[in-house]
């Protein structure tokens, strides 16, 4: 039920656990620490019929599992969310309009089943050899759909004020902490973001409440997205703005920041005590040896966003050259 897109990997059965062991062993063999991010897309479910139209492939929908656009869901059910309102169509970076399937409101009595799904995934991650788990409670996915007041219109124990809206997140975090230990657990948050209709009228209060819950459980780290990512596309990016500082001061564990960092700004954030760890996404995808490049202050490969989310097993994921490859097309390190 957590899937919303094609080619999404899973951790809900023994076969998947065994397959992940090979990946985890390879990462550990290189001396790295490996956490598994677990997430549930909720209402962010892209119908296969829409994908076919995007690719200009003419097929009969009869070849799919059902006719309703819920091809990634068990038994053809609608995807779940905190509400039953469809996500507003979104425009991607390349101008494509993304359309999502209409969801169904998750019934209160069914919420414990979702907690168990997160618990099982976390347990399986540890069985596969991962060093820990990061709960993805950001970017408009299911947990975010419960936390943000722009989306959550529930009137029972999981809706209304901040405490109720964060109840779902609190129970997921507690369930995973109980299963694998809080010392192996991180949580990703995006309080200021407005991804997929998910925004909040008081993001500071919301984040402080969740951070307090994490402190009570002794969660290892908090991974938070910079608010500037909401306005970066408009060019209103201020590297000097450190709006996550209030949460950094309150959280008792390790604090990880993410959002458009380059090498110099990342080093400065750690040196100044603003963060313990800086997370890199696009730069790391295009530069598999990013730490070594940063260490040498070397140039970086240019990333190609058009290949970020393809079904190709090679292009865009394993074809970027390493530092010592003479064919590298580099831009200056920032």
Report yes or no on 124 lying in a domain. yes
Catalytic site residue from 141, 158, 221, 320: 141
**Antiparallel, parallel or unpaired: β 330-331 and 300-301:** antiparallel
Report yes or no on 10 lying in a domain. no
- pLDDT of 48 reads 54
Boundaries of domain holding 203: 18-41+108-279
pLDDT band at 251 (very low <50, low <70, confident <90, very high): very high
pLDDT band at 100 (very low <50, low <70, confident <90, very high): confident
- pLDDT of 74 reads 83
Report yes or no on 83 lying in a domain. no
277 near 256, Cβ under 8 Å?
yes
Q: What is the mean pLDDT of residues 58-77?
A: 54
Report yes or no on 194 lying in a domain. yes
pLDDT band at 5 (very low <50, low <70, confident <90, very high): confident
Q: Is residue 56 scored above 60 in pLDDT?
A: no
Domain count, the chain: 1
Q: What is the mean pLDDT of residues 43-61?
A: 53
14 near 4, Cβ under 8 Å?
no
pLDDT band at 62 (very low <50, low <70, confident <90, very high): very low
Known catalytic residue: 303? no
Closest CA to 301 of 273, 317, 323: 323
Report yes or no on 6 lying in a domain. no
pLDDT tens sequence across 177-208: 999 999 999 999 999 999 889 999 999 999 99
Report yes or no on 80 lying in a domain. no
Report which of residues 7 and 303 the model is more confident about: 303
- Which of 7-11, 65-69, 235-239, 245-249 tops mean pLDDT? 245-249
- What CATH number should be reported for the domain holding residue 214? 3.20.20.70
Report yes or no on 96 lying in a domain. no
What H or E segment, with its residue span, contains residue 35? strand 35-38
Total residue length of the chain: 334
Report yes or no on 294 lying in a domain. no
Computed over every residue of the chain, the mean pLDDT equals 87
- pLDDT of 140 reads 94
pLDDT band at 258 (very low <50, low <70, confident <90, very high): very high
């Amino acid at each position: 039920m957590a899937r919303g897109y094609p080619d999404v990997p899973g951790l809900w059965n023994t076969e998947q656990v065994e397959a992940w062991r090979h990946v985890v062993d390879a990462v550990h063999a290189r001396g790295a620490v490996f956490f598994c991010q677990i997430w549930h897309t909720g209402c962010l479910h892209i119908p296969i019929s829409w994908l076919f139209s995007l690719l200009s492939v003419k097929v009969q929908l009869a070849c799919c599992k059902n006719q309703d656009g819920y091809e990634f869901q068990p038994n053809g059910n609608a995807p779940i969310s905190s509400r039953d309102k469809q996500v507003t169509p979104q425009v991607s970076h390349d101008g494509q309009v993304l359309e999502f399937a209409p969801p169904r409101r998750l019934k209160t009595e069914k919420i414990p089943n979702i907690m168990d799904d997160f618990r099982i995934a976390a347990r399986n991650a540890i069985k596969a050899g991962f060093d820990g788990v990061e709960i993805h409670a950001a970017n408009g996915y299911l947990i975010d759909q419960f936390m943000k007041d722009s989306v959550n219109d529930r009137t029972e124990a999981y809706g209304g004020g901040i405490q109720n809206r964060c109840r779902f997140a609190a129970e997921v975090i507690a369930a995973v902490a109980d299963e694998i230990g809080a010392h192996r657990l991180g949580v990703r948050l995006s309080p200021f973001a407005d991804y997929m209709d998910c925004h909040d009228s008081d993001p500071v209060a919301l984040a402080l409440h969740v951070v307090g819950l994490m402190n009570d459980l002794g969660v290892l780290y908090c991974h938070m997205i910079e608010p500037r990512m909401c306005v970066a596309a408009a060019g209103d990016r201020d590297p000097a703005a450190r709006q996550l500082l209030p949460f950094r001061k309150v959280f008792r564990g390790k604090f990880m920041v993410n959002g458009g960092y380059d090498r110099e700004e990342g080093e400065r954030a750690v040196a100044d005590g603003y963060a313990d760890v800086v997370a890199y996404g696009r730069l790391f995808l295009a530069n598999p040896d990013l730490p070594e490049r940063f260490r040498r202050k070397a140039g970086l490969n240019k990333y190609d966003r058009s290949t970020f989310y393809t079904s190709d097993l090679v292009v865009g994921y394993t074809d970027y050259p390493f530092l010592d490859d003479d064919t590298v097309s580099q831009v200056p390190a920032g």
